[in-house]
Structure 1
Amino acid sequence: MSMTLDEFTRSVDPRCLPRILQIQSGIYVQGSVYEMYGRECCLSNGDLIKVIEIRITRFIAKGSNGINVDLPLDYPGLFRIVTDTRPYCGIQEIADSLRISSDRLGQPVFYTAGDLDHPDGTIKKGTIFRITGLKTVQGLECVDCELVQSEPKRRFELKLSVIGEFFECDDSQFYTLKELAEWKMSTGRTRTVTKVKSTHLKDDILPDPLEDYKGELTLTPVHEIQAIMQFRKDVVLIPPNLDVEVVDVTEEHDSAVFVRPLTLKDVFKEPTDTFPVVAEVIEKPWHVPEELAFICRSKKIVIQRAFEAKRVLASETRRGEQRRFLVPTSYKGRFKRRPREFPTAYDLEMAQSSTEQLHVVATRAFESHYSQGQYPVQVGDQFLVKKKPANNTGEGSENGEDKMDDMLTCAKIEGKNHKDVKIPMYLDGGFVEVIHDKRQYTICDICHGFPLPFNVKVSVRDLAVKEDILAAASGLQVEEEITDPYLLVSTLDLSECWEVPVNRTKMTVQLQQRWQGPATGAEQPTGHAVVEEIGEDCYYTLRRYAVANLQPPPRPPKKKPAVANSMRVKPPRPNKPVHVSSPKSPHCNFPRPGSMASDTFPRLKRNTIAVSSDRRSSIPPVLQPITVATLKSKDIPQEPEVDDLDDDSHEYEYIDEDELEFIRKKVQETAVLRSTGKGKPNTF
């Protein structure tokens, strides 16, 4: 039975591809060329095409203010999903609508609108579960599930025939448009998102169409069919809205008559015994480093093997737009250390090393009024953070107050003497590292010998490459080690052999015969690696999988102040980064500085003062050292009860710096007039 291309696109299951279609009829002259969106295709009656992929090429974004723009998949921005309120009527609809995979992006989370009967027990209403994969049990298709709110994780299966209402759960993760297209677009539905971060460069020629838009956006995907024709080697790109009718004849024809073009991702998934193999370059890559330009010049290449290689993620340490790099562990350059900056004492603790003491200088003053035993910090004070102990166990008092976990014990340098002091973890001050080490290190030495992130500068460039892009950077912050898929690619004569990144090289090849290579027993070709400069979207995607298994810095202590007749203020807990260096769940609650999620956590500005707002206390808040309460009453309010202060909610109001300066002047005028006995000043 014939159907239009658009009907085929909307009805076919992507898991059933490839499919062979035969052209039936259309309102066109046979042999004519259809040209839409820059794509050309010549179709005639009776032609056979093999559909290998149906993908989203762009989105049409519509906003509440009437905005209607086309967004390509490489749009440099990050988006958060608005939860779809329409229910799914069964597990079969979920499996048919969403792409489910073992990949973390392909594991949707739902909750049930009613009780579900299960052989292992009833699944209660509102139960949140994650679908982790598809499988077949005793001939029946099922989905693997795990309960989200249970420790340890409880796993179970649900048959595709299960009927009920299932709702999508809130998703706090950030996604690029490419990730939304590949993983989060439900078949037959649109997707509503909000823009949370823009990585659009200021010096770009084209303006950002969403630069000033803050509301919700409805994304409608625009698809494209990738197909192969019998007598063409290249991939044909067909818009699905062509007025052409087709018939599915997959069962009647052998797909072997078609050429099989593969992307590098497809080649990476090939069995190990496929390599080494000779490949013909069908679609050459764009914007490759100079070292990989031999791929563009060669008609045939040899893919030696597929593997996962380690790379070190590094960023420039400069204000404004930063460049990001992926540095191979084989990089031959040398680095020297550069001072690190630590916003809080918590960051000092995270930077503790088991090999050396950390020497820092305070750049901001701080004096604690909330707990005894905490040392006031002055600008210029020098401290030594001791080496990390072998058994790092916290100590605390029996009553739970003044815990060691809330303070950092370090040594204050006073001339030639050292005095042990305690600095509060929540101290929102500042420290700069003092460097005494003049040695030069390799990139592996830094990753294995020091806690990351770590600041360095190239002291000796890599002489094995023509242009060392790291040497031009004023400073680098080595952030973490990652693993990424690569192919070892060489020329036929082995004159060039380089590691080619799979996820960042867009090219199409056709595998041919197996490569014989040198005689048996000869050494395999040695591949070289290049330093890659990556974009902001790629950087944030890689950083999202960093581990977040550490806790945020402790709250300020909740105990009586040592000074009598004074009111206690709850200082704001600073937004502390978590410095880690290994892969993690994509749902990162405590990102590092510069990570894509850091802008979503409000941070106190330096030109504002935070005042605690206690809902259960009728006593007005105060400022230190000048209180707002003195402006409203001559009498100093009595100290509130401890029970009234034990409030777990941390809510803050903000006073503008100009308003605060006005208040200070009025208070000072009041004090001067009262001291001179000249009467009461004008109120304000």
Structure 2
Amino acid sequence: MEPVSFQEYICSLDPSTLPRILRICSGVYFQGSVYEISGIECCLSTGDLLKVTAVTLQKVICEDVQTGQKSDLPPTFQGLFQPSPAPSLHPTSQGPPVQGNRQKGLTLHQALGQSGGQTQPLLCPSISPHTLLLSPVYEVQAIMHLRREQVKIPSTLEVDVEDVTEECQDVHFARPLLLSELLGMEELLPAQAEILEGPHGAAIFQSSWASRLQKGQRLQIHGCSHTWRVLASARSSTRRFLLSGSYQGRFRLKPRQFAGVQELAAGLQPGQRLHVVVTQDCEGRGDDVPPLSVGDRLEAQRLLQNAGSTRLLCRRHSEREDGEDEEGEELLLPLDLGGGFVEEVGDSKKYRLEELLEQLALPCDVRVVATDPALERDVLGSFSSLRLEARISQPFLLSSFCEEPDEGFEIPPQWLDLSLVLTEEPVGTQSPSTHRSHVEELTEAFYYQLLAQLPGGSAPPPPRPPKPKAQTHTGRKNQAHHKGRRPAAPQHPDSPQAHPAPSLPLKAKQLPPIQQSTPNKYSPCPRRLPAPQTHDAPGNTDVKSSSDEHNYEAIESSIQKTIRKVQTILPF
């Protein structure tokens, strides 16, 4: 057929013949110009094909021939139309007695159907006594090559088209897919695809293959992988990883380290007890909270409410001269108490990743003692400690680049989605290697985003409660005195004998707070506390330097003995 205007073609179209294929011939929309059609950005170029699938009447523009006034009629208009008599009739005629007046009127749709795509003069007394011209406006639904959604084009689009349905019967209108849609279309896999649009948003993988997922890149998608993953972090750095269940390295349990009682309480699992060794001296608080010394062995049991505050119930064990453990004493430690602790781990077995998850609850700390032999360089072996945070069950798509069909990688469509189109090229029957996906490094931002969304993930510990008021000089002297012996166990909070500590002397209350050094949570070795620095109290010029009045017990004489004691407890 010869090219016609889009409006003329649609008005003459028989809906029963749909779908029809049209070619854009010419018009104002050409040479790749981009326009917005029904809220969708659409590019129409000369030679583009449209597959028309549906036509819906949107409105009818009704023009009064006498006055030139135009109005819009909805598709539901109920008035009846009649053919207009000869144009020589007086324009003010109220409808002369002609043959058409004795006929039954036409509905709006019937009037448009009889026009055969041509504008016909009509009469409609409910609108005007004058002759009317009706111009329909249709919404045309069409499929375009390489567009995900159907476009909705008004029939008034000023382009010329030609019907090429017969000669284009075999033309395939490729519909783009999201990678996530392929998860439910496994019958189409394996398949080769071309990326139309890369992933949006910030990067999630710090991998070379992830940066290559750009427009124009061709992929082979082999199938779905349902291998579980484990979220992990290196304790001594900011590097984060996603470990595949196929990882073949071996792990050994690593003692967890806790900086203060707050972290110790957070690491206590419900219904379980946590055995730790004190790695840094911690000052007590009078008779209520005794001091803790390096090498003390504690058994954290549970949290208790004590006089409106929460405390951690622990039992401190000590060895008798014959090497046997004494029954120990109960301690109620406030959560804002400092110090350092390391977990007692007596297990030296080497675990596979699957064994760890079967026997232990996450999170847990481990160390890689045998790297994955499938990896040319297993980066996990370079860290002294890894924390396994949570197990993840997420579908992945096993893929490879067409130029590297044997080197596979696994894409998580739910996190890293992109638009692509399947091509007709064949895919090799042999699946690529997946060793590259055994260890994937994550960006730090995505790691915390993912960890916050996982029900099994652990968030960073909450900030510690405010530190208590400064202890007095007298209190510190009492603590130094207690260093050489074990104080009596505190009363249980529910016991009637429990009573508050005596009030402090007036002079002691005037002393400013002590600035304590921050403990090193990565070192199990004891560290000597620096001398506290004080400043003159207001109105008191007799306060001397702390080096004169605040003496602590020196531990140099027993430091070697303490180190040997800690080393016999820890497996590393």
Higher Rg of the two aligned structures: 2
Q: Whose relative contact order is higher, 1 or 2, with alpha carbons under 8 Å and at least 6 apart?
A: 2
Which TM-score bucket, shorter chain as reference?
Answer: 0.3 to 0.5
